[in-house]
């Protein structure tokens, strides 16, 4: 993901053919055309003028070039007459006049004009090639076409970091090679958390370091390992650290780099990549976003299938089967959707191992903060534990981003050290986008937003299974007008009751508007969308509805397209619709009931919000008292926009 394009640093640097030669040729031709073309003080003239000159005998000679152009050279008398200032200079060297004229007409006119003269001049026909112009007229379009083609090739070749000469290397792999000796080495020290994943890849490091230990007993070293997990969780980092620990070269490429509009290019790139890798063995190939090529084949009914991608995938499979198990090349691939990959990829001898890389938990986040704070100048009040608690649901990449953003904020404030507040601001900024300090909100709008958010906060506080609240703001950020932050459980299974309670809390904002103002606003679109999705999921996917029963219409493979073919009858569809609205309606009624019961607290909370703009758990405790339910250690966050 973060390819610092340290392109082929250890290879002998690719010969750069450069793009400038095209310009150089163009300029050369331009100059050539000037040098070879007609120069000097040549004027055009008319037939009448010419006749006059002939009669008065001012002309030295007339040449008819290629039967089209008459070139007229004056004699001394003529020059004195017509170019009094130029005298000797151009005499006889270049024509003084030219005249475009047809052959026949010129001869007739010349004869006519000189009738009766003692020694008439004759027209001398000459054949002359202007090589410069002629060559240009042939070569220029050619050069332009080639230049254009090169440009297109380079575009398609992508990679601004790549050198020129792309035409010759379109089928070459675009993998970036990191060499452990030269480049900064990534090791397990740089990977925080991910203990289980690290343990698994530790084995691979061992394979690469002491292959004989395993092969001695007849065992086969795995060829492919699939890293599965959400973006930014450190899959690339992990793969890089494996290479770093084993001290082997590391080829990094993204699945989409194989895809090109030309048929066969992807396959040829795969071939080239494996060829390069085998030369450098032992080594690691890392393919990011392998789903770009590894998606299940032949399932794409709508788009008519993608032959190019299929052939690329086939080539990858062939290569993986082809190289001997003990050739020392191990392929690591990353994806966030293992379920849509072609089953053939996961067969024994290919990517038969899968390592799950999850979002970090509290501990993991603290460690990631530690890793990224190593290079920062921190103030005394920075507490990693606290920051880890404030960042539930953040990925490793998000945390790296927080650290960087905090440093920038502190720098902007001209501080010596990065302080706690800088980190908190950075977190807010990353969660919610930029604070809109001066976005225009009227007093009455502010009141509506405050009651809406207070409605969410109150309902979730009063429901045992709803996620407790961490923070509510009515500071507009990004597109949202206000927001409530919750700390959801890290629960692996959710009960019907939990889902129902969450729906009530989500509808709490709208319900509060209804109770206080007697009308509802458009601000709750986001909430409604969420509730509808959840209700649908309960009825259609999780089998949590009594009328519909224990049926799931979920398709975990993601390969069915329900837009056209629903797996249920019209009758069932009607029933589903009815159940969904029943569910939402009863949740809404429940939200109304809770808020009516705690109307006083709701009002206090909203007033506090209008006053302070941000409130935390403590403020809720002050108003409603402690929640009677014990809160377990939770991670993960959820944000609910206005």
> Does the CA dihedral 307-309-311-314 come out positive or negative?
negative
Distance CA 198, CA 190 (A): 11
Q: How far is the CB of 238 from ligand ADP (least distance, A)?
A: 7
Does residue 192 touch ligand ADP according to CB under 6 A?
A: yes
User: Of 174, 235, 429, 530, which lies in the binding site for ligand ADP, with binding defined by CB under 6 A?
Assistant: 235
> Residue 324, Cβ neighbours under 10 Å: how many?
11
Binding range to ligand ADP, per CB under 6 A, among 10-18, 231-239, 481-489, 562-570: 231-239
Burial class of residue 323 (count of CB atoms within 10 Å of its CB; 0-12, 13-18, 19+): middle
Residues 400-459 contacting ligand ADP, CB under 6 A: 400
Distance, CA of 282 to CA of 470 (rounded, Å): 50
Q: Which does 335 bind (CB under 5 to 8 A by kind): ligand ADP, Zn ion, none?
A: none
Residue 455 interacts with Zn ion (CB under 5 A): yes or no: no
Contact 573, 566 (CB under 8 A): yes
- Residue 393 binds ligand ADP, judged by CB under 6 A: no
Q: Which stretch binds ligand ADP (CB under 6 A): 189-197, 213-221, 503-511, 617-625?
A: 189-197
The number of residues making up the chain comes to 642
Contact status: 253 vs ligand ADP (CB under 6 A)? no
The one among 95, 396, 455, 523 contacting ligand ADP by CB under 6 A: 396
Extract long-range pairs of 375-378: CB within 8 Å, 24+ residues apart: 376/403, 376/406, 376/407, 376/418, 377/416, 377/417, 377/418, 378/417, 378/418
Q: List b or e across 38-50, with b for residues whose CB sees 16 or more CB atoms inside 10 angstroms.
A: eeeeeeebeeeeb
Q: How many residues bind Zn ion (CB under 5 A)?
A: 2
Q: In the set 78, 163, 222, 232, which binds ligand ADP (CB under 6 A)?
A: 232
453 assigned to active site: yes
Which stretch in 186-194, 341-349, 465-473, 528-536 sits in contact with ligand ADP by CB under 6 A? 186-194
Catalytic residue among 308, 453, 513, 579: 453
509 makes contact, choosing from ligand ADP, Zn ion, none, with CB < 5 to 8 Å by partner type, with Zn ion
Cα-based torsion angle of the residue sequence 291, 297, 302, 305 in order, rounded to the nearest 10 degrees: 100
Q: What is the spatial distance between Cα 576 and Cα 608, in angstroms, rounded to a whole number? A: 41
Task: Number of residues interacting with ligand ADP: please give it, by CB under 6 A.
Answer: 19
CB 361 within 8 A of CB 635: yes
Nearer to ligand ADP, 397 or 609 (CB): 397
DSSP class of 407 = H
Q: Which residues between 307 and 336 bind ligand ADP (CB under 6 A)?
A: 334
Strand partners, 356: 228
- Residue choice 99, 237, 265, 329 for contact with ligand ADP (CB under 6 A): 237
Pairing of strands 123-126, 43-44: unpaired
Q: Which does 527 bind (CB under 5 to 8 A by kind): Zn ion, ligand ADP, none?
A: Zn ion
289 binds Zn ion (CB under 5 A): no
Contact call for residue 310 and Zn ion (CB under 5 A): no
Closest CA to 345 of 498, 225, 188: 225
- Closest by CA to 178, choosing from 236, 223, 127, is 236
Q: Closer CB to Zn ion, residue 144 or residue 525? A: 525
Stretch that binds ligand ADP, among 38-46, 107-115, 392-400, 485-493 (CB under 6 A): 392-400
Of the candidate spans 191-199, 406-414, 531-539, 624-632, the one that interacts with ligand ADP by CB under 6 A turns out to be 191-199
Cβ closer to Zn ion: 101 or 642? 642
* Residue 371 interacts with ligand ADP (CB under 6 A): yes or no: yes
Does 53 contact ligand ADP by CB under 6 A? Answer: no
- By the rule CB under 5 A, 222 interacts with Zn ion: no
- Give pairs for 91-96: CB < 8 Å, separation 24+: 92/60, 93/40, 94/38, 94/39, 94/40, 94/41, 94/42, 95/40, 95/42, 95/63, 95/71, 96/41, 96/42, 96/43, 96/72
Chosen residue from 257, 428, 502, 527 binding Zn ion by CB under 5 A: 527
Q: DSSP class of residue 539? A: I
**DSSP three-state, residue 480:** strand
367 CB neighbour count, 10 Å cutoff: 20
Q: Phi then psi for 354, rounded to 5 degrees?
A: -125, 130
Q: 496-515 mask for Zn ion (x: CB under 5 A)? A: -------------x------
- The residue among 527 and 579 lying less far from Zn ion, judged by its C-beta, is 527
Under the binding rule (CB under 6 A), the answer on residue 2 touching ligand ADP is yes
Pick out residues in 101-120 that bind ligand ADP (CB under 6 A).
none
- In the complex, the residues that contact ligand ADP under the rule CB under 6 A are 1-2, 191-194, 231-237, 334, 368, 371, 396-397, 400
Write out the catalytic residue numbers.
Answer: 453
- In the complex, the residues that contact Zn ion under the rule CB under 5 A are 509, 527
């Amino acid at each position: 993901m973060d390819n610092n394009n340290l392109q082929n640093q250890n290879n002998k640097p690719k010969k750069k053919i450069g793009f400038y030669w095209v310009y150089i040729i163009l300029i050369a031709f331009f100059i050539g055309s000037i040098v070879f073309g007609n120069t000097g003080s040549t004027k055009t003239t008319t037939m009448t003028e010419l006749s006059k000159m002939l009669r008065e005998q001012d002309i030295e000679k007339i040449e008819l070039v290629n039967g089209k152009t008459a070139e007229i050279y004056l004699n001394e008398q003529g020059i004195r007459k017509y170019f009094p200032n130029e005298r000797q200079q151009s005499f006889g060297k270049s024509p003084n006049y030219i005249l475009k004229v047809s052959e026949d007409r010129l001869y007739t006119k010349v004869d006519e004009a000189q009738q009766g003269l003692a020694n008439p001049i004759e027209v001398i026909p000459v054949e002359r090639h202007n090589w410069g112009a002629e060559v240009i007229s042939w070569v220029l379009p050619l050069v332009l076409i080639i230049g254009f083609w090169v440009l297109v090739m380079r575009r398609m070749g992508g990679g601004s970091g790549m050198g020129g000469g792309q035409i010759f290397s379109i089928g070459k792999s675009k993998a970036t090679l990191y060499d452990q000796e030269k480049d900064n080495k990534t090791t397990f020290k740089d990977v925080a958390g991910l203990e289980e994943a690290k343990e698994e890849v530790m084995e691979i490091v061992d394979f690469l370091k002491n292959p004989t230990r395993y092969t001695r007993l007849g065992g086969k070293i795995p060829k492919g390992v699939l890293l599965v997990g959400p973006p930014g969780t450190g899959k690339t980092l992990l793969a890089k650290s494996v290479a770093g620990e084993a001290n082997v070269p590391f080829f990094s490429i993204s699945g989409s780099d194989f895809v090109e509009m030309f048929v066969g290019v992807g396959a040829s790139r795969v071939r080239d990549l494996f060829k390069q890798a085998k030369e450098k063995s032992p080594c690691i190939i890392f393919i990011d976003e392998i789903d770009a090529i590894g998606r299940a084949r032949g399932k794409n009914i709508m788009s008519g299938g993608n032959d190019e991608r299929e052939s690329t995938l086939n080539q990858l499979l062939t290569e993986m089967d082809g190289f001997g198990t003990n050739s020392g090349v191990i392929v690591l691939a990353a994806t966030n959707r293992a379920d849509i990959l072609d089953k053939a990829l996961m067969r024994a001898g290919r990517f038969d191992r899968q390592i799950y890389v999850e979002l970090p938990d509290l501990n993991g986040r603290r460690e990631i903060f530690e890793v990224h704070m190593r290079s920062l100048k921190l103030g005394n009040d920075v507490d990693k534990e606290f920051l880890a608690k404030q960042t539930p649901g953040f990925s490793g990449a998000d945390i790296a981003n927080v650290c960087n953003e905090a440093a920038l904020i502190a720098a902007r404030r001209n501080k010596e050290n990065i302080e706690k507040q800088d980190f908190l601001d950075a977190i807010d900024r990353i969660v919610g986008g930029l604070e809109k300090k001066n976005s225009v909100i009227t007093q009455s709008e502010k009141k509506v937003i405050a009651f809406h958010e207070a409605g969410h906060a109150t309902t979730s506080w009063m429901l045992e299974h709803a996620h407790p609240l961490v923070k509510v703001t009515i500071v507009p950020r990004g597109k949202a007008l206000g927001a409530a932050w919750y700390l959801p459980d890290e629960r692996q299974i959710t009960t019907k009751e939990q889902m129902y309670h969450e729906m009530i809390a989500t509808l709490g904002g709208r319900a509060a508007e209804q109770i206080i103002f007697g009308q509802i606003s458009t601000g709750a679109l986001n909430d409604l969308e969420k509730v509808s999705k959840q209700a649908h999921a309960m009825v259609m996917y999780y089998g949590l509805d009594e009328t519909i029963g224990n049926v799931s219409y979920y398709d975990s493979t993601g390969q069915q397209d329900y837009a056209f073919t629903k797996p249920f009858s019209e009758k069932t569809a009607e029933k589903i619709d009815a159940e969904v609205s029943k569910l939402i309606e009863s949740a809404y009624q429940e939200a109304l009931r809770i808020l009516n019961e705690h109307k006083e607290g709701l009002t206090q909370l909203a007033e506090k919000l209008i006053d302070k703009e941000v409130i935390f758990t403590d403020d809720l405790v002050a108003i409603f008292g402690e929640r009677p339910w014990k809160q377990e250690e939770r991670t993960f966050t959820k944000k609910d926009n206005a």
